[in-house]
Structure 1
Amino acid sequence: MAHYALSDKHYGKVFFFDDFTTQTEVNGCRVLGKTSDVISSFEDKQFDELLIGIGYKHLQVRKDLFETFSTAIPFGTIIHSSSWVDDTVVIEKGCVVYPGCIIDAKTVIRANTVLNIACSIAHDTEIGSHCFLSPRVAIAGFVNIDECCVLGINTTIIDNVKIVAHTQLGGATVVIKSINKSGLFVGNPAKFVR
């Protein structure tokens, strides 16, 4: 995320807050402190926008951090310049759209959601807050995905499908009917695992 934020010129500098490192710099970016230091660093004008770079295994942490800071600190949004986004699309704060994504008309991407490389989302679809779409996810039109869902690499979802919150779809899963029970689903067609 930091790499694309800098290389695609969304920001001149990127800083980290990291509760687990003892390093003062990660990948050439300065570490300003731990998450407990975010508010004071913002008040000290050390940064002006926030994005959450925590990945798909920690969606509840992503959600909690977003809810903690979103009323006090402006959240950025990154849409890589190689992605195509229709003029009617709504992408809320805190979202990151990686290179090569295509987002069709009247789609809504709710807050704090990540679309990884080469995702394709067709018209009239809504992706809930705090979701993580892995590379090459393909979603047809009129799909509704609730919050905190993980869509594995190469997942395919046909049109007019709804997916309940806290659902995880394994790599290459094909969803041909709505998922009304949260859990892990894999296969073609998608089958509940646990």
Structure 2
Amino acid sequence: MENVRYLYGASGHCKVIIEILKSTNHKVGGILDDDPKDNFLMDIPVIEFSKTEILSSDNIIISIGNNEIRKKIASNINADFAIAIHSKSIISESAKIDKGSVVMAGVVINAFATIGKHSIINSGSIIEHDCEIADYCHISPNVSLAGNVTIGEGTHVGIGACIIQGIKIGKWTTIGAGSVIIDDVPDFAVVVGNPGKIIKYNHKNE
């Protein structure tokens, strides 16, 4: 059925996506997991992935919060993937959201912003005009991105962080909770504070 979705990963993040889908009158037909700990999550059956067949190439969402794991799973599944957008988010008609991404309640995505594949735009975040968010990113709750901000692949922007207009954030970086970013950030950097300062570098996962 067109309004049925299947989630991959019985996690806390999965619980949020279930409620997002309910807000748009979608049904969750089941939750796929490589190592199920329970038979049900929120009354939805949890099914061992190896024992099931994907019913459609475009009805699956990866419900795992870790960016690297999401990328690994997406690379190993031949699927087109679905999108989940909460009914209480505000999305510009000119914004573009790619397959596998999730937009939570209270989010604002403004004119001509683009969201890549399998990214998470978490509760209450503001993505201003012409921002570009690449694949496998996580924009945490209450993050504010001013206009023309670019976020590279796999980057995690921590809860409550603010990034001023025109800033470029590299790939697989970590922006600490509450940080204020006023300068460009290179690939793999870990940045914290107000103003944000690089404290170390993440391992290169490529």
Q: What is the TM-score of this pair, normalised by structure 2?
A: 0.84
Alignment partner of 2:85 out of 61, 79, 90? 79
Higher strand share: 2
Deviates more, 1:25-34 or 1:111-120: 25-34
SS at match of 1:192: strand
Does residue 1:32 correspond to 2:40, yes or no? no
Report the count of equivalent residues. Answer: 185
User: Counterpart amino acid of 1:60?
Assistant: E
Secondary structure of residue in 1 paired with 2:45: strand
Cα contact 2:175–2:192 (8 A) shared by 1 = yes
Instruction: State the superposition RMSD in angstroms.
Output: 1.7
Segments of 4+ moved more than 6 angstroms: none
Letter in 1 for 2:43: G
Gapped runs of 5+ residues in structure 2? 1-15, 201-206
The answer for the alignment partner of 1:163 in structure 2 is: 169
1:11-160 aligned within 5 A: 11-34=26-49, 36-37=50-51, 40-42=52-54, 45=55, 49-55=59-65, 58-69=66-77, 72-160=78-166
**Residue 8 of structure 1 is aligned with which of 17, 23, 29?**
23
- Distance apart, 1:79 and its partner CA: 1.1
Q: Which moved more, 1:157-166 or 1:73-82?
A: 73-82
Separation of aligned partners in 1, 2:113 and 2:17:
25
State the distance in 2 between where 1:27 and 1:114 align: 21
Offset, 1:64: 1.3
* Stretches of structure 1 lacking an aligned partner (at least 5 in a row): none
Give the aligned residue type for 1:95: S
SS in 2 for 1:185: strand
| Greater displacement, 138-147 / 174-183 | 174-183
Q: Is the Cα contact below 8 Å between 2:20 and 2:104 reproduced in 1?
A: no
User: Which residue identity does 1:12 align to in structure 2?
Assistant: K
Between 1:131-140 and 1:23-32, the stretch displaced more is 23-32
- Per the TM alignment, residue 186 of structure 1 is displaced from its structure 2 partner at its CA by 0.6
Tell me, what secondary structure is at the counterpart of 1:16?
A: strand
Cα contact 1:95–1:111 (8 A) shared by 2:
yes
